[in-house]
Structure 1
Amino acid sequence: MVGQKIPRGKKIYVAWAPSQPTGFTSQDSTWFTAPDSGIYVLSSTLSVGTTAVATNGDGVVLYVDRRAANGTISPIAAVRELALQASVQVVSVCTVVHLRAGEAVAVASYLDSGSPNPAYAIQGGEWECHLSAIMVGAGAASFTEAPVSGGTLADWADQAVITAADMTARITAPLRTLYSPARVLTRTVGPYTSASNQRTLIPWSTAVMEECGGWRMSGDGTTFTVPRSGVYLVTAFTGVQRDGSQGPYGSYQVNLLRNGQPIAVRQRQNTRISYSTAIPLNEVLFLTAGDTVSTELMGTGTGLTWRPEPSNDGWHAFGAVMLGPTAISMKG
């Protein structure tokens, strides 16, 4: 993949350097086939170099696609950054997804057809580009499969007599929780308009929410209620458009809120009107049962308004999956 050229206006799948993935197979170093069904965390980053200066920015898109066993390709994620200078632009995304055995994933990239630059090249430095997939729910037959009853870690008292049944229960009960962890995913946002310097809770669609374990979403789609205490991976990305005058002064940020308070902030600049860029956000944090999690948008600039990318074809996702079901804090 080092130096792989991506011509403008054409979606090209990335050919990765030969590797030896555990379980996953690949015949062409482009599509990687899942060995088993379950919940996976997918993450990818591309660093791309361009030699052109673009006054209003060239759009550089990273796609993560899924290929079903019958060959049908569908989007998992799509994020876009703007390359303004003759330098390197980094595009990344992380999300939670259910894959069936035999389904494959791949990363593609795209350079705006309006770019004056004929091509850009993928950089080849160590860790400048990556694609990873790790299973976090080996027993999940679907994203919404009913959860396995959770177990807890029992104390092992000194001199206690432990029977075979005790041993089985104390070992397998916590593991069952890991086989089908509490999780939530929605890939659509509702309409909203946010003026500059205004904090707006992002309304995720209640119609397409998938969950396992008892997650609840508020009626307006702005908050998710955590069903069970533990350590979670929370991921989000969302395409945001800028309306108003075109120019260099206009940035926006997406905040991750826990119980209404910001705990993570990501910021990007968008110099083009009616054109989407995206902010990927992912955090590992301890959440208590009953906590709420939200995402919030705030744009800057004079006389600008901000709204979501109208297409839901992979441009938006909010997801969370439990990683540590027996944790009582981040300190334990």
Structure 2
Amino acid sequence: MMKMNFIQKYFAIIVIAGVILAISIPSIFIPLKPYITYLLAAIMLIIGLHLQAKDFVKVAANLKGKLLVILFLKLTVTSIAAFIIGKLFGLSLTALIGLVIVGACPGGTASGVMALLARANISLVVSLTFLTTLLAPIFMPLIIYFFFSKSIKLDWFGMFETMAIIVIVPIVLGILISKFTKLNDSTLKKISNIPILLIMLIVMVVTALNKDTMMLVPTDIILSVIILSIFANIFGYLIGRVLGLDIDSRLALLFEFSILDVGLGIVIALAFFGNQAAIAATFYAIWQNIIGPIIVNLVNICRNTKFKSS
């Protein structure tokens, strides 16, 4: 089993400490708000550096039509679930938009880390994260428009343009850099923690911007986020089971559906809907980095128990 380095092992504690620091001294982080877009672009660039064509070829050859089914469900179901959950809890319009944005987020870089630690199908996770991230500039604005076009005025093209610039361009640039510089595994491993730390910094900035609200996060938002996360975990795993995938692939889908690129969600929420809309994504970022390692540990305990009994 892959060993967690210090940041990966204690990331939940680091995130909580960072949030407390941002609430205690918000003046340090508030001036960084204009740079959030650049931080996210840097994350996407590093994702691009890790991508290899052989991963996609292998996954596409093994899953064939099933890959399209998984991809479609990943792009739609969690956002629909977010809307239903938010409605059931009676969230305000702004909070509901924020929760749907979370549900519409593509898989995050941390999903690959969790998949590795749980010995899941890493090629499947990487492929889905890449594909959903590339399609996010199209699907996220469409989903938001579908649910809220009658409630508020939406700049669909503005969202698409912003996301294309901060998602597609850096990823393509990262792929090109990786191809022509031929980065070795050692170098890639050294920079693998940078996206995690940048996401944490984004979370701290948004926490500082919403200091008063974050100190008293409404219970309905907290419960909505937790239920959405649990739903995504269960749904991802069950889809793998329904499609007849092996246990490693089911676990890969569990992480891919629930560990999200909420950094992108935060940027979109801040840019088009205001600070309050970013609260759900901020809390989700904290939650997923707590529950993710717990699930990894449970999976490995189950694996080890099964191995010993056999």
> TM > 0.5 between the two?
no
The alignment's TM-score, normalised by the length of structure 1, stands at 0.23
**Larger relative CO (CA 8 A, sep 6+): 1 or 2?**
2
